[in-house]
A and B are shown apart, each in its own frame.
Chain A
Amino acid sequence: MASRSVSPGGALLRASRMFSMPAPLPPPAQEAAQATFRSHSDTATSAYPTHQVITTLSHARKEGDWGLKRPLPLRSTTKSSTPMLRIKGIDTIEQITDYTSGADHGLSLLKFQELGLPISTPSSRISSLSRSDSGARSVFDDDIDCTDIAAKDRAKLVDQRWRFSGPWLAGMSPGDFKKYLAEKVRPRRTAFRNFLKEKIARGLNETAKERALDRAEEEPPEVTVESILDEQVTEYLREVRNQNAILYQLVGEFLDLAPLKPPSDITSDQLMGNQRVTLAPDTRNPYAQHGPPKTHPSAGLSYIRTGAYMENHPVYGPQKEHKPVEARVLRPRSSQHHSAKLGIAGFVSESQAGDNIHNQKSGKSPLRHFDPELQGGAKLYVQPELASVDSDGKLRIKIKDSVDLEAELVARELIGEGEGLFGQQPKQVEEVSKETLRRHYSTKTSRGAQDYGISMDS
């Protein structure tokens, strides 16, 4: 049907959140890479999903009913064991529903939630290469998880905020910065001068009050904003021009810029006594190093607030460590790359950079060498420690140095691989034929006489 007249109630429902799919997000930005000659793939799984993933009940899936405008073809939507789809267009110009599988991100989310890791704020660099995890807090702590801040408190709470209306200057390319100056900053000159007038007025009033207190005099009349002349503002600007720190504070407050961490070269200059190079005071904001996050710091991946819970084993009792997880070795260590890349729960992470017994050059460690004879690829058990979402929207998982041997044995026993701690042998599970499996998961409801065990041959 090309166009149908919709009742007012129907129009309201269509526009409501309950009956509409959220608008797709812009794809992850890989700006630097996309401007170079490096290879990139359109079909690679993106760092975060951009479309809503939908699912449906098993009985509805057999009919192709996904709650959309039309039923979807059964051959492509009923064969998978994970009923997850990503709808790119509910009704396109060709009068079809444009869909594709959403199991890549859907399953990654489920796998990550199975880890039971809370999401923490990034502490300088969440990577297995760094040793310190000081200052990593849950992103849901009340003082840092607040966006409803009054305009006058914004400057005071810079260290606790994650959302800023202005950009992060260190993350802007020069072209973007010039564009930002021309479009957003230049038109606001008069507003900035008024802002400075308020600051000057406040400063003058405060100094006058203090002087009056010191000399035990009466409080002088307050200086109003209107009484301050433009020349005073210009004079103040001339004074402040050479004091970068104060100027940066003023500009940052006015434009609501995200806090910056001064680069290490400048701090060494500071040590030599070059005061002019001071850019900004030391900020405690965890996002000063790499920029504020694009979305809520948790990115909706996990709502657990802490990892301080004890895992209880049905046989061995409370466990000291959380359950270690099987990780895939994606790329072994080499002379160019000092740490192997591991895949945990569908997310790429790094192994330890240093030399240890597990990644020696000699021997057949999969952290160092690729072994094509290993069935299903090289995997090893690791213990994830911290997880945080960085400013690109990517999830960074930090792994512990080594896995507790007993914890690994217990984890393997739980999934039926290997001996238990007390030498228990794993259960022998009989192999189920493919035919039986196919029959079990098929969408056909009855097979006729065969269901009753009556074969047509006899």
Chain B
Amino acid sequence: MSKSLLPRALRLLQPRFYSSSSTTSSAPSLTRSPSQSSKPTTTTTRSPTSALSSLFAQDELSKPSGHMNSPLGSGTEAAEEVIKHQHRTEMYLRKHPRVWRDGDVYAPHDLSPAEAKKWRGVKAPKKDVIDMLGVNPLDNYRNFSMISEFMTPMGRIMHSKDTGLRPVNQRKMAKAIRRAIGLGIHPSVHRHPEVMKMRGRLITGI
């Protein structure tokens, strides 16, 4: 490999993003659609410098023309493009709400729309949170965050299928809620306003 190859490659470092389709076989780039790909038809081998330089030259030519031609309007156009792309990204990513964690394993099935649908929305917890925390609900009747958490926005005590608590803890929690309401220290028809304020839901009332 010639020495001139390395400096040139590093100087003209361009991101190399492409799709996996086999039709775009030569130097695919984002801004060039497959129909426009001008693949050279000659089969003679060329020098390494010319091969790499041709890749970069094609990329430079295919940059959006607004970037170079209109220095006055390029700023707003670029900003509009960015906003358009951001909006499109948000809209599409809403369809895949799964939060990917480092180390997760995924198969093609996990990227399908059927699987993506299951990650939407809020689900009832599967484990008992009171057991995990090791607290006694009855001792926490004054803990308005906890009381409001196990209450619906209308002020009703949540069912165990929504809280995920086992029967013993569900009864204790319900008793703590009734105690707080009976003492008059917690509202009976909605959640505690301080708690709602903390969560930023004072206006919506959830």
A residues with a Cβ closer than 8 A to B are: 31, 34-48, 103-105, 107-108, 127, 173-179, 316, 326, 330-332, 334, 341, 343, 346-350, 357-358, 361-362, 364-366, 368-372, 374-381, 390, 392, 394-396, 405-406, 408-409, 416-426
Q: B127 to A44, Cβ gap below 8 A? A: no
Q: For B6, what are the chain A residues with a Cβ–Cβ distance below 8 Å? A: 406
Q: A41 to B105, Cβ gap below 8 A? A: no
Q: Which of A176, A332, A392, A406 contacts B89 (CB 8 A)?
A: A332
Q: B102 to A423, Cβ gap below 8 A? A: no
Q: For A42, what are the chain B residues with a Cβ–Cβ distance below 8 Å? A: 118
Q: For A330, what are the chain B residues with a Cβ–Cβ distance below 8 Å? A: 100, 106, 111
Max chain A CB contacts within 10 Å: which of B17, B21, B28, B121?
Answer: B17
Give the complex CA separation of A424 and B50 in angstroms: 12
Q: For A423, what are the chain B residues with a Cβ–Cβ distance below 8 Å? A: 45-48, 50-51, 54
Q: A406 to B9, Cβ gap below 8 A? A: yes
Given contacts A36-B125, A341-B100, A379-B20, contact A31 B132 (CB under 8 A): yes
Q: For A420, what are the chain B residues with a Cβ–Cβ distance below 8 Å? A: 51
Assuming A47-B103, A364-B30, A369-B89, what are 8 further A-B pairs, CB within 8 angstroms? Answer: A35-B129, A39-B123, A41-B119, A175-B134, A369-B85, A369-B86, A377-B20, A406-B6
The interface bits of chain B over 147-169 (1 if a CB of A lies within 8 angstroms of the residue's CB, else 0) are 00000000000000000100000
Report the minimum CB–CB distance from A313 to chain B (whole Å): 12
Q: Which of B109, B118, B128 contacts A104 (CB 8 A)?
A: B109
Report the minimum CB–CB distance from A295 to chain B (whole Å): 14
Q: For B104, what are the chain A residues with a Cβ–Cβ distance below 8 Å? A: 45, 47, 347-348, 394
Q: A361 to B51, Cβ gap below 8 A? A: no
Residues of B within 8 Å of A, CB-based: how many?
A: 75
Q: For A425, what are the chain B residues with a Cβ–Cβ distance below 8 Å? A: 26, 39-40, 43
The interface bits of chain B over 86-125 (1 if a CB of A lies within 8 angstroms of the residue's CB, else 0) are 1011001100111011111111011100010011111111
Give the complex CA separation of A176 and B115 in angstroms: 33
Report the minimum CB–CB distance from B60 to chain A (whole Å): 14
Q: For B51, what are the chain A residues with a Cβ–Cβ distance below 8 Å? A: 419-423
Give the complex CA separation of A104 and B51 in angstroms: 39
Q: B19 to A379, Cβ gap below 8 A? A: yes
Q: For B132, what are the chain A residues with a Cβ–Cβ distance below 8 Å? A: 31, 35, 173-176
Give the complex CA separation of A36 and B122 in angstroms: 9
Q: A418 to B28, Cβ gap below 8 A? A: yes
